[in-house]
Amino acid sequence: MTTAAGSGHPSSSLSAVEVVNALFFGGFMKYDPKNPQMKERDRFILSKGHACPILYAAMAEAGYFSTELLLTLRKLGSVLEGHPNLVR
């Protein structure tokens, strides 16, 4: 993603791979991509915004959106900004 975007901080994402993988796919977080506003869902807070590509990759793999959208990271008009944005 960062290579396709031509910018970003891949090392920030790589340092969070194990934690994000365990939380999203190890049965620790309660979420439903088909019902993202589920009241009982867990919230994931990413304190280092430069690692947003790993969050976007996990969300795509979990089914929140198509993995093809990942290649739009940091592109003009993309919902995948350089830092996570709850509003978009």
**Residue 78 falls inside a structural domain:** no
Average pLDDT along the chain, 88 residues, taken 10 residues at a time: 82 95 97 96 92 96 96 91 78
Neighbours of 68 (CB within 10 A): 8
**Residue 80 falls inside a structural domain:** no
Give the type of residue at 74.
R
**Residue 67 falls inside a structural domain:** yes
Buried/exposed code over 47-58 (b: 16+ C-beta within 10 A; e: otherwise): eeebbbbbbbbb
Q: What is the domain count for the chain?
A: 1
Question: What is the rounded CA–CA span in Å between residue 73 and residue 65?
Answer: 13
Question: What is the rounded CA–CA span in Å between residue 83 and residue 88?
Answer: 11
**Residue 19 falls inside a structural domain:** yes
**Which domain range does residue 27 map to?**
2-72
At 16 the pLDDT is 95
pTM of the model: 0.89
